[in-house]
Amino acid sequence: MESDEFHMLRSERRVVITGLGIICPLGDGPESYWSALSEKRGAVRKLAAFPVGGLPNDVGAEVPDFIPKTWPKKYSLPDTEHRKALNKSMKYMARDIQLAVAAADLAMANAGLVDAQIDPTRIGVDLGAGLISTELDELAPAINHSSQNGGVFDYGVWGREGIGQIPPYWLLKYLPNMLACHISILHDCQGPSNTITEAEAASNLAIGEASRIIARGRADMMITGGADSKIHPLSLVRMSLLDQMSRWKGEPSGACRPFDVQRDGWVPGEGAGILVLEERDHALKRGATILGEILGFGSGCDAQPEGGLDPEGIGTEIALNAALRDAGLKPSDIGHVNAHGAGSQVSDLAEARAFQRVFGGSKVPVTALKGYFGNLVSGCGVVELIASLLGSNRGLIPPTLNCDELDPSCDLDLVRGEARPTQNPIFVNTNLTRHGQAAALVVSGGSNVS
Amino acid sequence: MRRIVVTGMGMVTPLGRDMESTWASLQEGRSGVGPITLFNAESFPTRIAAEASRFDLKDYVEDHERWTEYCRNTKFAIAAARMAIDHSGIQTDDDLDRGRFGVYLGSGEGQQDFPRFVDLVRSSTREGKVDFAAFTSMGLERLHPIHEAEQEPGTPAGHLASLFGARGPNANCLTACAASSQAIGEATQLIRRGDADVMLTGGTHSMIHPFGVTGFNLLTALSTRNDEPTRASRPFDRDRDGFILGEGAGMLILEELEHAKRRGATIYGEIAGYGSTADAFRITDSHEDGRGAIACMKEALTEARLNPEDIDYINAHGTSTSVNDSIETLAIKKTLGETAYKVPISSTKSMMGHLIAAAGSVEAIVCLLTIRDGILPPTINLDNPDTDCDLDYIPHEARRKPVDVTFSNSFGFGGQNIALILRRYAG
């Protein structure tokens, strides 16, 4: 790039984090979330939501007590009209949507925006979301009604009589853009709206894109992050069919083991993380508490000719280098890396090799948090980012769980045991899909934002 | 500021196996709508759609057998992307820094494996409820790994990156019917900001499957003019009764201007403006004053530094639903003022149906072809314009007119609005 263009980019508007909302298996607020991380209390257990059979494993990380009847009282803004609108819309909301909507309410309150007068055309939404699995019992009556002739499905019966047995708004309940749409309606966000559906890379991509939208002046505030729930029978079957699920036979809490020699796969999780991003002067003018700053964003892809992951981690390397370049930082400026750390053999190795090439001799401390809460897929990027942000603002790097014996081929300075003190609030958060799509963010904790 | 031009285009649509055959059909005003053949829809409220009926991946790529089990979205995407890259003349091995060549798609979710899924639900139902333990254990044996994996909407973006060696930025957005227009807009921004020099962008989608038709029928969004398929999609007409599902893919090669010039590429147009807004109104309805649609069109005009008088053609979202066509007309009038009555507008959905996530990318390419050839495709079936649809919708027959600046509108469920301005590249 020409140097004058580079100068133009550096004169862009700065983007800070002024609010966060989290609902994940470890907690439903920054304090409970951080306590669990610092006390190394994981949330992977035998699945409680429903019984499973025949799968390689029956463990997962669930958000406890999150049910439509009660969560609005706990999490929604204390505004009667808002809560009325929320309860009215609940029938259109799959669990993924509800998690996002609840976390968005928490984030707006956290950002001090409950009664704030903000220009609705200058606030937008950009979220990561996934394929939402339909609730089986919504379809079962229609399917069974149409399969009465010796168990053979009859399209004629389905068309004539089955369709009418399905709730009228069934389709809208499962569209991935509805997380963002409900939030835009409930908080009157008329600015840009996008939904990134790229599995584990989704919420980092959304946060990066949202920060760019503010940087280029198209909005002053963005609600961003993501949500997902893989605690669903069909999602578990899919994970198993792709041979991704952990077969760990020990204690459930040990099932997801990032960078450990015995790692053997994923654990399903669920949750939501929402950030309020804001142009820095806009935030300062309204006296907002600044929790951090988005410094850089980069994305890349393994693009292996036969598909799948590159064991050398080329896509992650490209994403990391792009994010560092975007931030105008050197590898040695980074305090720690929050890795994807899926807990699968190839993925962790690929990441470790990418880190070695990017950070070389500086041997940056690395942490990976899926041992606590499994894979939140479209939500993992933001939930993991929030952990590092909370840590940075406490001078600590949250520790990796379940890496009892670091794989010697993953030559990393992995933060294990206790949370590690750090003076450097700048970190990199990176995630990776099974197609090798990678997205990285460079973020600074609040104390460095001046 | 870095300028972004289009140097390659490819599409698969109900009207043709490629861009030129689709374009010829559009100029002839031919409808691609007919009875649904992809599954037995004989008793569904809607039994018609615009299928890409002659599509076969083996006509496009040599290793088509590798993709046999993959979903229709992926196959359309591969074919359209192959054609777009060939059209651009880019030699992916020689002309590209792969780390600066990315993919940003607006692809829809892959279709549920309906026969296996309904059989599984039936087999695992106990006393009227699905037994989840039975469902999971039987599911593992009965569902097909590729069919399941292909439902994730981000997969085509991964496949295309692999096929063409694109190691740069990679994303997929899914904002219902606005998705692939949004992908073009955001891919443009990535190049503008310097993250990439070349982006493969567009979208792919088919919802012509039992759950797709079921879902839209439940929302009463589809036309039920089953006896007159070719007359069923009638945007802006008094007797319109819903949209017609289409399917296919549109892919574009976006390139930074200097990069395109250096390799002597043919330039088909410039992405001059992009607007993205939310209605923030209701999940089920557009805002009655067209609030979000107006704001996004204005945003695109501002970014392009153009005035209403500069617009030569609008490719409308024009779904043929009662609400969309009225509100879109209102929004065009509010955005362009008196000029609105002078700008020719058409809905190519009248011929190819609604490609949902892929619609915007195909329609953006149509805009670029109007610039190339000076021919505006018609809105067919517009026999009796609705009283509140009183603009120039190019009824029935294509029209010749030199075109420099075009608008492409895309609006999605939930209040998603995207407008793109594509203009002639004039140095």
In this prediction, residues A47-59 reach a mean pLDDT of: 96
User: Which residues of A, range 90-149, sit inside 8 Å of B by Cβ?
Assistant: 92, 120-121, 124-125, 129-131, 136-137, 139-141, 143-144, 146-147
Q: Which residue of B has its CA nearest to A134?
A: B112
Q: Inform me whether the pLDDT recorded for A10 exceeds 60.
A: no
User: Which residues of A, range 411-440, sit inside 8 Å of B by Cβ?
Assistant: 433, 435-439
> Around A438, how many Cα atoms within 13 Å sit in the side-chain half-sphere?
38
CA distance A172 to B106: 18
Which residue in A156, A169, A241 is closest to B43 by CB distance? A156
User: Quick check: is B296 catalytic?
Assistant: no
The whole-angstrom distance between residue A348's C-alpha and the CA centroid of its chain comes to 18
In this prediction, residues B147-168 reach a mean pLDDT of: 97
CA distance A433 to A320: 15
The pLDDT assigned to B408 comes to 98
In this prediction, residues B174-191 reach a mean pLDDT of: 98
Give Cα separations from A355 to A201, A321, A325, A359 (angstroms).
17, 10, 15, 6
Q: Inform me whether the pLDDT recorded for A283 exceeds 60.
A: yes
Determine the distance in angstroms separating the CA of B21 from the nearest CA of chain A, rounded to an integer.
31
* Burial environment of residue A360 by CB neighbours within 10 A (0 to 12, 13 to 18, 19 or more): exposed
Mean predicted lDDT score pLDDT of chain B: 97
* Number of other CB atoms surrounding residue B22 within 10 Å: 29
> What CA dihedral angle connects A277, A283, A287 and A292, to 10 degrees?
50
CA distance A126 to B189: 15
> What CA dihedral angle connects B339, B342, B348 and B349, to 10 degrees?
60
Yes or no: say if A326 and A333 are a contact pair by the CB < 8 Å rule: no
Q: Inform me whether the pLDDT recorded for A448 exceeds 80.
A: no
Q: What is the pLDDT of residues A138-178, one digit of tens each?
A: 999 999 999 998 899 999 999 999 999 999 999 999 999 99
Q: Inform me whether the pLDDT recorded for A3 exceeds 60.
A: no
Q: For strands A15-23 and A292-301, give the pairing.
A: antiparallel
Residue B278 forms contact with A (CB below 8 Å): yes
In this prediction, residues A420-428 reach a mean pLDDT of: 97
Least trusted range by pLDDT, from A396-405, B133-142, B283-292: B283-292
What is the percent of chain B with per-residue pLDDT over 90, rounded to a whole number? 97
Cβ–Cβ below 8 Å for B167 and A301: yes
User: Quick check: is B177 catalytic?
Assistant: yes
Q: Provide the ipTM.
A: 0.98
Give Cα separations from A47 to A52, A238, A253, A287 (angstroms).
8, 16, 11, 44
Ramachandran assignment for A243, one of left (phi > 0), alpha (psi -120 to 50 degrees), beta (any other)? left
Q: By C-alpha distance, which of A19, A69, A65, A72 is closest to A43?
A: A65
Yes or no: say if B237 and B385 are a contact pair by the CB < 8 Å rule: yes
Determine the distance in angstroms separating the CA of B269 from the nearest CA of chain A, rounded to an integer.
23
**H-run or E-run covering B119:** helix B114-123
Q: By C-alpha distance, which of B154, B360, B280 is closest to A125?
A: B280
User: Quick check: is B71 catalytic?
Assistant: no
Residue A202 forms contact with B (CB below 8 Å): yes
Q: By C-alpha distance, which of B11, B312, B194, B285 is closest to A8?
A: B194
The pLDDT assigned to A446 comes to 79
What is the percent of chain A with per-residue pLDDT over 90, rounded to a whole number? 93
One-letter amino acid of B324: N
Q: Which of B85, B118, B123 to mutate to test the interface with A (most CBs of A within 10 A)?
A: B118
Instruction: State whether the Cα torsion B368-B369-B372-B373 is positive or negative.
Output: negative
In this prediction, residues A79-96 reach a mean pLDDT of: 95
Determine the distance in angstroms separating the CA of B178 from the nearest CA of chain A, rounded to an integer.
10
Confidence of residue B288 (pLDDT cuts 50, 70, 90): very high
The pLDDT assigned to A1 comes to 42
Cβ–Cβ below 8 Å for B281 and A322: no
Q: Inform me whether the pLDDT recorded for A434 exceeds 60.
A: yes
Q: What is the pLDDT of residues B399-423, one digit of tens each?
A: 999 999 999 999 999 999 999 999 9
Q: Inform me whether the pLDDT recorded for A362 exceeds 80.
A: no
Give Cα separations from A217 to A122, A280, B101 (angstroms).
9, 12, 26
Q: What is the pLDDT of residues B64-78, one digit of tens each?
A: 999 999 999 999 999
Residues forming beta bridges with residue A297, ordered by sequence position? A441
Alpha helices in A146-253 (DSSP H): 155-157, 170-173, 178-186, 202-215, 233-241
Confidence of residue A447 (pLDDT cuts 50, 70, 90): low
Q: What is the pLDDT of residues B291-320, one digit of tens each?
A: 999 999 999 999 999 999 999 999 999 999
Residues forming beta bridges with residue B125, ordered by sequence position? B130
The pLDDT assigned to B92 comes to 76
The pLDDT assigned to B321 comes to 97
Global pTM reads 0.98
One-letter amino acid of A58: D
Determine the distance in angstroms separating the CA of A322 from the nearest CA of chain B, rounded to an integer.
8
Instruction: State both tokens at A40.
Output: 């190394």
Yes or no: say if B34 and B223 are a contact pair by the CB < 8 Å rule: no
CA distance A238 to A165: 26
Give Cα separations from A275 to A116, A280, A429, B258 (angstroms).
17, 14, 14, 37
Q: What is the pLDDT of residues B39-70, one digit of tens each?
A: 999 999 999 999 999 999 999 999 999 999 99
Q: Which residue of A has its CA nearest to B101?
A: A300
* Chain B CB contacts of A299 below 8 Å: 102, 168-171, 195
Instruction: State whether the Cα torsion B184-A297-B158-A173 is positive or negative.
Output: negative
User: Which residues of A, range 145-174, sit inside 8 Å of B by Cβ?
Assistant: 146-147, 151, 153, 155-160, 163, 166-172
The pLDDT assigned to A116 comes to 82
The pLDDT assigned to B427 comes to 86
Determine the distance in angstroms separating the CA of B337 from the nearest CA of chain A, rounded to an integer.
21
What is the percent of chain B with per-residue pLDDT over 70, rounded to a whole number? 100
Q: Inform me whether the pLDDT recorded for A137 exceeds 50.
A: yes
What is the b/e burial string over A29-54, where b = at least 16 CB atoms within 10 angstroms of the residue's CB?
Answer: ebeebbebbbebebbbbebebbebbb
Cβ–Cβ below 8 Å for B136 and A53: yes
Residues forming beta bridges with residue A338, ordered by sequence position? A367, A429
Confidence of residue B333 (pLDDT cuts 50, 70, 90): very high
Q: Which of B69, B126, B173 to mutate to test the interface with A (most CBs of A within 10 A)?
A: B173
Confidence of residue A361 (pLDDT cuts 50, 70, 90): low
Q: Which of B170, B189, B417 to mutate to test the interface with A (most CBs of A within 10 A)?
A: B170
User: Which residues of B, range 251-270, sit inside 8 Å of A by Cβ?
Assistant: none
The pLDDT assigned to A313 comes to 98
Yes or no: say if B170 and B104 are a contact pair by the CB < 8 Å rule: yes
Q: What is the pLDDT of residues A187-241, one digit of tens each?
A: 999 999 999 999 999 999 999 999 999 999 999 999 999 999 999 999 999 999 9
Q: Inform me whether the pLDDT recorded for A449 exceeds 80.
A: no
* Number of other CB atoms surrounding residue A2 within 10 Å: 10
Yes or no: say if A373 and A269 are a contact pair by the CB < 8 Å rule: yes
Cβ–Cβ below 8 Å for B219 and A169: yes
The pLDDT assigned to B284 comes to 83
Confidence of residue A41 (pLDDT cuts 50, 70, 90): very high
Yes or no: say if A187 and A210 are a contact pair by the CB < 8 Å rule: no
Catalytic residue among B71, B173, B177, B389: B177
Q: Inform me whether the pLDDT recorded for A9 exceeds 90.
A: no
